[in-house]
Amino acid sequence: MAQQFDVVVIGSGPAGYIAAIKAAQLGKSTACIEKWVDHSGKTSLGGTCLNVGCIPSKALLESSEKFHQAQSEFSDHGINIKDVKIDVKAMMARKDAIVSNLTGGIAGLFKANGVTSIEGKGKLLANKKVEVTKHDGSVEVIEAGSVVLAMGSVPIEIPPTPLHKDIIVDSTGALAFDHVPKRVGVIGAGVIGLELGSVWNRVGSDVIILEALDKFLPFADQMIAKSALKVFEKQGLSIRLSCRVTGSEVKGKTVVVTYQDAEGEKTVEFDKLIVAVGRRPYTEGCFSDDSGVTMDERGFVFVDDQCRTTVPGVYAVGDLVRGPMLAHKGMEEGVMVAEIIAGHNAQMNYETIPSVIYTHPEISWVGKTEEQLKAEGVEFKVGKMPFAAVGRAMAQNDTTGMVKIIADAKTDRILGMHIFGLSSSELIAQGVISMEFAASAEDLQLTCFAHPTLSEAVHDAALAVDGKALHIPNPKRRK
Ligand code: FAD
Ligand code: AMP
């Protein structure tokens, strides 16, 4: 007889593993199917995020930033070290150890919560049946009360730059170079391109980022994007906008890239080329023709606001569905869907999902940008606080950037928070919480913040919304 579960989750990335754990915690018999195998041939849970995404990229960003600081900034503190060297193998080994620790941790959480882990590729059939093709080729069919699709996403490949061994690589390849390449090209100045470009720039590569659009980070606050562009250029990243890559030719151990800019066709040679032009939902071989699941025009599984697909009892979460391709967005959807399956009311607030770019300094935001609000015809007021006026930032030798808060001109409700600065990935939680609780700028103005902290910039930015900032000379006063 076929195995039966209340809930079957396909994919153990952040969206899938959270859905599985939550469903089990709510008393449902739950299985999670995963096809990912690591270098040693062992199944690895955790999806893109843990294996080749959020976690390994942050591990390398941390190592490379420490190297850069030891080389260029420690002397400001009176710490003089000669001959600072980067050991790429050790840096990679540290990253790999973190990855295996965390992926093993998910296996532990599954055991602890009673989630049955099934190795192989899952395929949704009609009537909530799921076919699993094991790594040895054997096939099993499982019956489910509810199915959660969480197959995630894969890097987009573009015809001008087909991947080639370790020369033209995607983000996964760029997390595993075994030495510091001399010349690194990155296609795409999006989040992933900037993070990976930063890693290799910091450890000594000459990095050129080619971006087809004429605007830098068009989805971010444009004042912050402009100031970040200048900072990144100063760090040595060459970010070339309005450059569309049209071709590539591998010549021995190098690659010659052709691109088009305002002046016409140009070429540039690299030792490594990282293709970082975005990701697409992964659905190949995951549905039978009669599964009933439908996709939208961009290939995302079509779902409603509560992640229900067009098939009753089948849900889809994470990168597979509309919305930002972010691990925490998928996790929240995983929780929501498990709650709904357990018969509870659940919904999620898509308006307060934070975004972070883990460059140095980090760029983080939540809510609307000035540009969006103008387009929507909403009247707003803005408060800004530069870190240059924050004591803790000075003590930390890092005064780049600012906190910017946007509030509704009529209601004072906070509509957006945008931060370019040290540890902004942590600070932005204050914006998320404020917006989740529908706080006004005045609510933050009346809040006591510890001194000396970077968070004081959030306080002063909130005060600045009404011209009341205490630490900026000549704040614009409102009568
Ligand atoms: P995935 O993590 O892609 O997981 C899907 C899983 O399903 C995979 O393990 C896959 O093997 C499995 N699977 C697919 N099909 C089947 C099948 N048929 N049967 C069985 N298993 C299947 N996001 C952030 O929020 N913060 C970051 O800092 C961040 N950094 C990133 C850095 C990089 C370099 C990259 C590439 C991504 C980064 N992301 C980041 C994005 C983040 O990784 C994704 O948003 C997140 O992993 C999506 O989660 P998911 O569960 O939807 O899918
Ligand atoms: P993201 O989707 O945030 O990961 O960013 C990917 C970036 O790659 C986008 O800003 C695209 O404009 C850019 N891009 C896509 N194709 C090309 C190309 N052929 N040449 C240069 N940039 C590209």
Q: Which ligand is nearest to the CA of 120?
A: 1
- Residue having the nearest C-alpha atom to atom 3 of ligand 2: 190
**Polymer length in residues for the chain:** 479
Over residues 194-223, the pLDDT tens digits come to 999 999 999 999 999 999 999 999 999 999
Residue 444 CA to ligand 1 center (angstroms) comes to: 35
Which residues approach ligand 1 with their CB closer than 6 A? 10-16, 33-36, 47-49, 53-54, 57, 121-122, 150-153, 171, 192, 282, 286, 318-320, 325-328, 330, 358
Q: What is the pLDDT of residue 129?
A: 98
Q: Which ligand is nearest to the CA of 225?
A: 2
Mutate to test the pocket of ligand 2, among 238, 245, 268, 277 (most ligand atoms within 8 A of CB): 277
Domain spans in the chain, listed from the N-terminal domain onward: 4-155+280-348, 168-277, 353-465
Over residues 422-431, the pLDDT tens digits come to 999 999 999 9
Atom of ligand 1 nearest to the CA of 58: 28
Q: What phi, psi does 184 have (nearest 5°)?
A: -115, 130
The position carrying tokens 């190098």 is: 254
Residue 278 CA to ligand 2 center (angstroms) comes to: 7
Q: Is 210 in the pocket of ligand 2 (CB under 6 A)?
A: yes
The position carrying tokens 């709904």 is: 340
- The residue from 68, 451, 459, 471 that is catalytic is 451
Predicted structure pTM score: 0.97
- Residue having the nearest C-alpha atom to atom 14 of ligand 1: 151
Name beta bridge partners: 5: 144
Residue 98's Cβ-count burial label (10 Å; 0-12, 13-18, 19+) is: middle
Q: What is the pLDDT of residue 122?
A: 98
Residue 451 known to be catalytic: yes
Amino acid in position 136: D
Residue 47 CA to ligand 1 center (angstroms) comes to: 5
Q: What is the pLDDT of residue 477?
A: 52
Long-range Cβ contact pairs of 348-352 (< 8 A, separation 24 or more): 349/436, 350/323, 351/435, 352/432, 352/435, 352/436
Task: Write the CATH number of the domain with boundaries 4-155+280-348.
Answer: 3.50.50.60
State the Cα–Cα distance between residues 416 and 35, nearest whole angstrom. 39
Q: Which ligand is nearest to the CA of 190?
A: 2
Q: Is 158 in the pocket of ligand 2 (CB under 6 A)?
A: yes
Q: What is the pLDDT of residue 479?
A: 44
First to last CA, the chain: 77
Q: What phi, psi does 92 have (nearest 5°)?
A: -70, -40
Q: Is 277 in the pocket of ligand 2 (CB under 6 A)?
A: yes
Has domain 168-277 been given CATH number 1.10.730.10?
A: no
The closest of 41, 68, 55 to 94, measured between CA atoms, is 55
Has domain 353-465 been given CATH number 3.30.390.30?
A: yes
Which residues of the chain have a pLDDT value below 70? Answer: 473-479
Residue 414 structure tokens: 């906070």
Atom of ligand 2 nearest to the CA of 244: 20
State the Cα–Cα distance between residues 230 and 73, nearest whole angstrom. 19
Do 4-155+280-348 and 168-277 have matching folds? yes
Q: Is 185 in the pocket of ligand 2 (CB under 6 A)?
A: no
